């Protein structure tokens, strides 16, 4: 069982922000912004490549509720999911990073030259 499945099943504790029957959101233990919350489905899904349109529709509404609960809905926030090794996915369980609470930079691409990736 993966780390996020253990959190979803209450086998590991997490600083939860919001939860319903299908999803749970909790603070990231290594935050990259003043507000950094992870939203996950309680059912194991490896990555965005495997998510169904139906689950994504429900996840969208859940993420919007989380943004309101952590008070970034009006000021703005970023939603990110990483897919696979090259995308930076570290935990093989679908999760969305919700970042806000400050004006966010586009750090690792801020000074990138597209020619470096070709």
pLDDT band for position 18 (cuts 50, 70, 90): very high
Query: DSSP letters along 14-62, please?
Result: --EEEE-SSEEEEE-SS-SSSEEEEEEESS---SGGG--HHHHHHHHHH
Predicted confidence at residue 115, as pLDDT, reads 58
103-112 residues labelled b (16+ CB within 10 A) or e (exposed): eeeeeeeeee
Per annotation, catalytic residue among 18, 36, 93, 95? 95
Domain segments of the chain: what residues?
Answer: 3-106
| Mean confidence (pLDDT) of the chain | 91
Residue 93 annotated to the active site: no
Q: What is the mean pLDDT of residues 61-65?
A: 98
CATH of domain 3-106: 3.30.428.10
Predicted confidence at residue 112, as pLDDT, reads 52
Per cent of the chain over pLDDT 70 is: 90
Predicted confidence at residue 110, as pLDDT, reads 52
Q: What is the mean pLDDT of residues 65-78?
A: 97
């Amino acid at each position: 069982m993966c780390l996020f499945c253990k959190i979803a099943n209450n086998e590991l504790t997490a600083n939860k922000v919001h939860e319903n029957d299908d999803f749970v959101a909790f603070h990231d233990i290594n935050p990259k912004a003043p507000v950094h919350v992870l939203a996950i489905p309680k059912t194991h899904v490896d990555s965005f490549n495997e998510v169904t349109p139906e689950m994504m529709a429900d996840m969208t509404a859940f993420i919007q509720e989380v943004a309101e609960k952590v008070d970034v809905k009006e000021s703005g926030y970023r939603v990110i999911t990483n897919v696979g090794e090259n995308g930076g996915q570290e935990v093989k369980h679908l999760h969305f990073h919700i970042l806000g609470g400050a004006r966010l930079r586009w750090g690792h691409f801020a000074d990138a030259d597209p020619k470096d990736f070709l």
